[in-house]
């Protein structure tokens, strides 16, 4: 079943990403559970941030944000990725997972009340949820293949988040045609399971896109090859948005991320 | 008749949403009346708002806005939703209902003269009116179905407003073809009447969209499922705009909404 | 002849709109003359306007702008409409009529040198001219119908300006096919002559649109109905832009318009 | 030959435009030479310009810019047009002609270092070159017609610059089909040679458009009529951009242009 | 083989561009290696940069940036091009080459912490990598032709970077059809190898475009002619983005580039 395929993809993905210390919410569990909200926001520092005293921008920013993370540790899992230097619209990509969308919203509200947040603009936002079952069918072999391979490369260094919107033509295709196209793209990407983690979020109605796909990897070339495979599948003809933006960030410790944006 | 269908949808919708205290205008009445204007505006706090004294941003903001609401209570019903954390372009979504568009406009003008309003940009605006009868025909069974089911979930926690623009192809379709497509989408969404409130506004000529649909719900998954059903109906092929923006906010008390945006 | 139709529409329109005191230029004459330039600009107050002393923003703004109007009274007819609360990009819509485009430009330049103008951004601009004869043909009956009905509703309360751009397909249609489509839309809108004033401007080459249509009315529902009729005519298939923006403002006295934007 | 046609158009155009005093570079020569770069930039004054002392904004701005013009007089021909009041994105349109693109760039760099330039944003830019021969063929009669008529109206009062981008369908048409379409549009516009000056620049690869057409005229109605003729030719079906922006400015002395933008 | 063709193009290109002093990383080597990341960012000075003391803007800026270049000399090759006067969105185009994307990102982060960087906005960004082999096939004759000709014009004076996105139709074409189209465009451009250097980067998945092509040349007319040839090949029908932006800058010394942007 495709929903099993999607669930299997979700379960096998992103488990190794632990830039933050242990939290009240269990990373391994929330990263594979269904009905989990994923809220992605990007922060872009305003110029006046660079004029604050250095101590406030560096150690102060870290401790304030660690306090926000600690406050919400029972409700929210938050990851901070460094986009400065790789993006024009942001310096930091924040990825928030929560079982309740209100809890994820509350985390971002508190983040914006920190010194760093008060000197940043939220330039981009995407929201979705995991594992809303779309396609129920029989593909046990494919599901087994998905489960059989796990990520075995060095620890991921990069995250890429790609929002996707499908056309009306896609949504009004007969169910089995959509299924066949999904299976085609799934089979062609099986070879990348060992080098690229993926996680899918469903956004229809909650955002102006239909899906968000979050990738983590160490091998940039492999990710580029996977992306070309995804361009060449028939399903690609039904995309009215793929990326725009393609959010790419570095996986690093919270301290390193905040230090990197403190400089100007 | 579809106009009865639409009126029935309007009548059964959004009645339970009472984040504000009783006003001079009757909520239950204005929410089901035809010829009511709906004016949606979003406010985005500018950075300098966070530099005001905390008392002014918190208690002061609440009392000033309560005074504006009280001043207009005989003319306008106003709801404030919290979008901060879920939107990049706004912190607050304000929904204004009035029997006279000038009265709705006056409310927003006074809102902008408050401390909060003077430190906010109005980033988005949508205007429409209820119940302009479009399709007159016979569908008594469908109308009865619409009336037979009322919202029975816990109190809604989220509001979503989706602006919609139809193509020239839609508007130049023969009347009965449009009718059939509307009936198709109405029938497929009957199953969501108990979990999702809907309210329709007509905007052609008054705005750059044709319709605004306002949803309220507690169950985010159910709303996501409804949204996918709406993507898959044939009518979707005639949409040149669906969302963009999809405005999503939290239903909360005026005090909580204003406190949440006071922080940074 | 369609050009007579268009001229008749122009002659019967917008004559009753007199928010300003008598001027050197005759309103009734310029509003029905051909070869008159229409220049529409919107002003959006910047936040620092609200920090000026109240006297400067209120009485001062009014007297400065009255002086500009008086200075140009022999060359320009200017109307100020209140868009605050109904638009995100503007607070005031200024409509300037002149027989010489340079005179209209000069008025806007002087307007921008007032205190209000110096604290405003000009966010939107549209320019066109009346009555450039496009389609010469014989439709005396239609022309008579246009002349037979005049606006008879209460004084208009709202103005709507809609810019329109036609496709290359439209412009390369044979002349008689364009004529037939224009007649179709004209006939279908005859019933709205008593409730909605219209005035047409031709913009091809002078702006990035082909036409501007300016409507004035008291009955918002009637205008919404007219707009839907215009959506359903075959000519609508040839529009690559209709609105975007749809500028909607309130007709009010200069004093009231300026007072409304003085508050924040 | 079309290239002769285009060269003839270039040679007969814009010669009378002399808002500036005599310069080292010869206006009549550079305005008809091939391989001349045309660099168009628009300046939009920032609000803080209006807060400078009036003397600095008026006489000071004029003398500083005259000094820049004098410094570059052997390399660059520069014209300043007044767009304030007719444009939202600019106050001044600067047109620079030079035989070396680096020289044109240097002029703009020095312009931006003046008081006026330091208080302005460069909002729009277009670059192209004259007379790169595209279509070589035999149309001696057409070329003669182009040379036979010269501008005979009163001195031009307005400049309009329209950027144009052609579709991939255009560029992959067989050569003779493109030629036939160009001849069609050239013949239909012959009647406007006496009232409207035109000059063509080629931009493919140097900018995101393929052509820039610069018009100068006194008779706005005639230009509007010409524009409609250009909309109705078959070639128009191959335009993916025509205008957007349509830059329209007034031809006036440097002193008058700078004085007009000094006010607010 | 096309990949050899592409590799040959890469190897023969941009070798002569040495605006900076010798660095730890070898220019000739990194400019022809595969798996090299190319990161392009543009900097736009904010108005407040012009208010800094002149010494800080001129000599200070140069020495600070030279220090950043020196710090990263073992990891990054950086070139600075002058776009001021030729672009609205930028003053400087920075091109960074590195074997590790993190190293390129680090360079930009340090650049933004300099005085110049702290007063600049990063308005545009493109990332790609060299020589990811796309099309493996046999075209030894074509490859030989590519290798047989090297750049022989005077030192390049201009750089142009053009981002390219292909349609879903392109990516889902059969392999041999894509190959044939690539060969067609390669053959038609062979004649420009002596006057225009080219270098190709692959971006699919790493950015919202598929390719970046970087050109360097002294002869602007030749580049314009090459651009028209590229417009006329069949492959052009599969481009959904070509340019937008077309980044054009001057090749000059770091000192000259920074001095040019110090003025206002």
Residues contacting D141, CB < 8 A, separation 6+: none
Is C128 within 8 Å of C101 (Cβ atoms)? no
CB contact under 8 A, C220 and B101: yes
What is d(CA C12, CA C151) in angstroms, rounded to the nearest whole number? 8
State in Å, rounded, how far the first CA of chain B is from the last one. 50
Supply the pLDDT for residue A40: 98
Sort residue D149 into left (φ over 0), alpha (ψ -120 to 50) or beta: beta
Chain A's closest residue to B83, CA to CA, is: A105
Residue B16 DSSP SS3: coil
Please provide residue B93's backbone torsions phi and psi, each rounded to the nearest 5 degrees: -105, 120
D31: tokens are 């305005």
pLDDT, one tens digit for every residue, chain C (264 residues): 334 444 444 433 453 344 444 458 999 999 999 999 999 999 999 999 988 999 989 888 999 999 999 999 999 999 999 999 999 999 999 999 999 999 999 999 999 999 999 999 999 999 999 975 454 455 777 878 888 889 999 999 999 999 999 999 999 999 999 999 999 999 999 999 999 999 999 999 999 999 999 999 999 999 999 999 999 999 999 999 999 999 999 999 999 999 999 876
Q: What is the dihedral of CA A53, A58, A64, A66, to 10 degrees?
A: 180
Q: For residue range A48-91, list pLDDT tens digits in order.
A: 998 899 998 988 899 999 999 999 999 999 999 999 999 999 99
Q: Where are the alpha helices (DSSP H) in chain E?
A: 2-11, 27-30, 54-55, 61-71, 101-112, 115-118, 140-148, 168-171, 175-189, 220-232, 254-261
What beta strand segments (E) does B74-192 contain? 76-82, 92-98, 120-129, 158-166
Helix (H) or strand (E) holding C49, with range, is: none
**Predicted confidence band of residue B59 (pLDDT cuts 50, 70, 90):** confident
Q: Is the preceding omega at residue B105 within 30 degrees of 0, hence cis?
A: no
Q: For residue range C52-62, list pLDDT tens digits in order.
A: 999 989 888 99
Exposed, middle or buried by CB within 10 Å (0-12, 13-18, 19+), for D63?
exposed
Residues contacting C17, CB < 8 A, separation 6+: C27, C79, C156, C159, C197, C216, C251
Is B92 within 8 Å of B155 (Cβ atoms)? no
Q: For residue range D22-77, list pLDDT tens digits in order.
A: 458 999 999 999 999 999 999 999 999 988 999 989 888 999 999 999 999 999 99
Give the CA distances from residue C142 to residues B148, C189, C200, C227, in Å, rounded to whole numbers and listed in that order.
50, 11, 17, 20
* pLDDT beyond 80 at A173: yes
Percentage helix, strand, coil for chain E under 3-state DSSP, each rounded to 5: 40, 25, 30
Q: Which of B45, B81, B85, B163 to mutate to test the interface with A (most CBs of A within 10 A)?
A: B85
Supply the pLDDT for residue B5: 43
Give percent above pLDDT 90 in chain C: 79
Is A254 within 8 Å of E104 (Cβ atoms)? no
What beta strand segments (E) does D64-116 contain? 76-82, 92-98
What is d(CA D209, CA A21) in angstroms, rounded to the nearest whole number? 52
What are the b/e assignments for C129-146, b being 16+ CB within 10 Å? bbbbebbeeebeebbebb
Q: Residue E109: list chain A partners with CB under 8 A.
A: 84-85, 260, 263
Please provide residue A17's backbone torsions phi and psi, each rounded to the nearest 5 degrees: -80, 100
Chain E's closest residue to D109, CA to CA, is: E85
- Write down which chains contact chain E via at least 3 CB pairs under 8 A: A, D
Residues of A with catalytic function:
198
Is some CB atom of chain C closer than 8 A to the CB atom of B132? yes
> Which residues 217-246 on chain C approach chain D with CB closer than 8 angstroms?
none
Supply the pLDDT for residue C160: 98
**Predicted confidence band of residue D5 (pLDDT cuts 50, 70, 90):** very low
Supply the pLDDT for residue D261: 95
ipTM (interface predicted TM): 0.90
Chain E's closest residue to D48, CA to CA, is: E47
D238/chain E closest Cα distance in angstroms: 13
Q: Which one of the listed residues C84, C95, C178, C198 is annotated catalytic?
A: C198
Chain B's closest residue to A101, CA to CA, is: B220
CB contact under 8 A, E225 and D132: yes
Please provide residue C68's backbone torsions phi and psi, each rounded to the nearest 5 degrees: -65, -45
Place of tokens 């242990």: A22
Is D110 within 8 Å of D68 (Cβ atoms)? yes
CA A203 to chain centre: 12
What beta strand segments (E) does A130-206 contain? 158-166, 196-202
Q: Residue A129: list chain B partners with CB under 8 A.
A: 220-221, 224
- The total of other beta-carbon atoms located within 10 Å of residue D256's CB is 14
CB contact under 8 A, B85 and A112: yes
Which residues lie across from B88 on neighbouring strands? none
Sign of CA dihedral D241, D247, D248, D253: negative
C95: tokens are 């409509």
Question: Shortest CA distance to D185 belongs to which of D61, D44, D2?
Answer: D2
Number of C/D CB contacts below 8 angstroms equals 97
* pLDDT beyond 60 at A218: yes
Supply the pLDDT for residue C264: 63
Helix (H) or strand (E) holding B238, with range, is: none
Residues contacting D114, CB < 8 A, separation 6+: D61, D64, D65, D68, E264
What beta strand segments (E) does C72-146 contain? 76-82, 92-98, 120-129
Is some CB atom of chain C closer than 8 A to the CB atom of D160? yes
Is C32 within 8 Å of C15 (Cβ atoms)? yes
Q: For residue range B156-185, list pLDDT tens digits in order.
A: 999 999 999 999 999 999 999 999 999 999
Is some CB atom of chain B closer than 8 A to the CB atom of C45? no
Supply the pLDDT for residue A19: 46
Compute the average pLDDT of residues B237-242. Answer: 98
Of B35, B109, B171, the CB nearest to C85: B109
Pairing of strands A92-98, A76-82: antiparallel
* pLDDT beyond 90 at B80: yes
Q: Which one of the listed residues E84, E178, E198, E250 is annotated catalytic?
A: E198
Is C200 within 8 Å of C132 (Cβ atoms)? no
Helix (H) or strand (E) holding E123, with range, is: strand E120-129
Is some CB atom of chain C closer than 8 A to the CB atom of B118? yes
CA B235 to chain centre: 21
Which residues lie across from D212 on neighbouring strands? D163, D201
pLDDT, one tens digit for every residue, chain E (264 residues): 334 444 444 433 453 344 444 458 999 999 999 999 999 999 999 999 988 998 989 888 999 999 999 999 999 999 999 999 999 999 999 999 999 999 999 999 999 999 999 999 999 999 999 974 454 455 777 878 888 889 999 999 999 999 999 999 999 999 999 999 999 999 999 999 999 999 999 999 999 999 999 999 999 999 999 999 999 999 999 999 999 999 999 999 999 999 999 876
Pairing of strands D158-166, D120-129: unpaired
Is E233 within 8 Å of E182 (Cβ atoms)? no
CB contact under 8 A, B204 and C231: yes
Residue C74 DSSP SS3: coil
CB contact under 8 A, D171 and E225: no
Is some CB atom of chain E closer than 8 A to the CB atom of D123? yes
Please provide residue B38's backbone torsions phi and psi, each rounded to the nearest 5 degrees: -115, 120
Length of chain D measured in residues: 264
Q: For residue range D174-233, list pLDDT tens digits in order.
A: 999 999 999 999 999 999 999 999 999 999 999 999 999 999 999 999 999 999 999 999
B89: tokens are 């372009």
What is d(CA D108, CA D78) in angstroms, rounded to the nearest whole number? 10
* pLDDT beyond 70 at B54: yes
- Is the pair E, B in contact (3+ CB pairs within 8 Å)? no
Q: Residue B248: list chain A partners with CB under 8 A.
A: 127, 206-207
What is d(CA C41, CA B128) in angstroms, rounded to the nearest whole number? 24
Please provide residue C44's backbone torsions phi and psi, each rounded to the nearest 5 degrees: -120, 120
What is d(CA E212, CA A74) in angstroms, rounded to the nearest whole number? 45
Residues contacting D156, CB < 8 A, separation 6+: D16, D17, D197, D216, D217, D218, D251
Q: What is the largest CA-CA distance in chain B?
A: 60
Q: Residue C37: list chain D partners with CB under 8 A.
A: 220
Q: Residue C134: list chain D partners with CB under 8 A.
A: 228
Give the CA distances from residue E197 to residues E17, E134, E152, E185, E218, in Å, rounded to whole numbers and listed in that order.
10, 21, 10, 16, 10
Exposed, middle or buried by CB within 10 Å (0-12, 13-18, 19+), for E193?
buried
- The total of other beta-carbon atoms located within 10 Å of residue D232's CB is 18
D84 labelled catalytic: no
Is some CB atom of chain B closer than 8 A to the CB atom of A167? no
Please provide residue A257's backbone torsions phi and psi, each rounded to the nearest 5 degrees: -60, -45
Of D220, D224, D236, the CB nearest to C172: D236
Which residues lie across from C200 on neighbouring strands? C213
Q: Residue B232: list chain A partners with CB under 8 A.
A: 171-172
Is some CB atom of chain E closer than 8 A to the CB atom of A59? no
What is d(CA E148, CA A162) in angstroms, rounded to the nearest whole number? 42
Supply the pLDDT for residue C138: 55
What is d(CA C167, CA C237) in angstroms, rounded to the nearest whole number? 9
């Amino acid at each position: 079943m495709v929903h099993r395929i999607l669930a299997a993809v979700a379960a096998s993905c992103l488990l190794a990403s632990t830039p933050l210390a242990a939290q009240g919410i269990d990373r391994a569990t929330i990263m594979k559970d269904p009905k989990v909200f994923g809220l992605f926001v990007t922060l872009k520092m305003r110029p006046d941030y660079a004029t604050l005293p250095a101590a406030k921008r560096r150690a102060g920013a870290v401790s304030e944000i660690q306090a926000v993370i600690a406050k919400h540790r029972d409700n929210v899992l938050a990851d901070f990725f460094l986009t400065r230097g790789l993006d024009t619209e942001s310096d930091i990509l924040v990825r928030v997972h929560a079982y309740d969308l209100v809890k994820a919203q509350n985390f971002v509200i508190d983040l914006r009340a920190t010194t760093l947040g008060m000197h940043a603009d939220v330039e981009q936002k995407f929201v979705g949820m995991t594992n809303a079952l779309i396609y129920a069918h029989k593909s046990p072999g494919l599901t087994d293949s998905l489960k059989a391979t796990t990520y075995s490369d060095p620890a991921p260094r990069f995250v890429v988040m790609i929002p996707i919107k499908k056309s009306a033509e896609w949504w009004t295709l007969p169910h089995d045609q959509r299924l066949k196209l999904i299976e085609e793209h799934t089979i062609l990407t099986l070879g990348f399971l060992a080098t690229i983690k993926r996680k899918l979020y469903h956004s229809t109605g909650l955002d102006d896109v239909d899906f968000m796909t979050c990738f983590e990897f160490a091998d940039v070339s492999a990710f580029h090859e996977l992306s070309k495979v995804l361009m060449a599948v028939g399903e690609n003809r039904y995309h009215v948005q793929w990326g725009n933006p393609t959010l790419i960030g570095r996986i690093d410790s919270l301290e390193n991320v905040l230090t990197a944006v403190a400089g100007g």
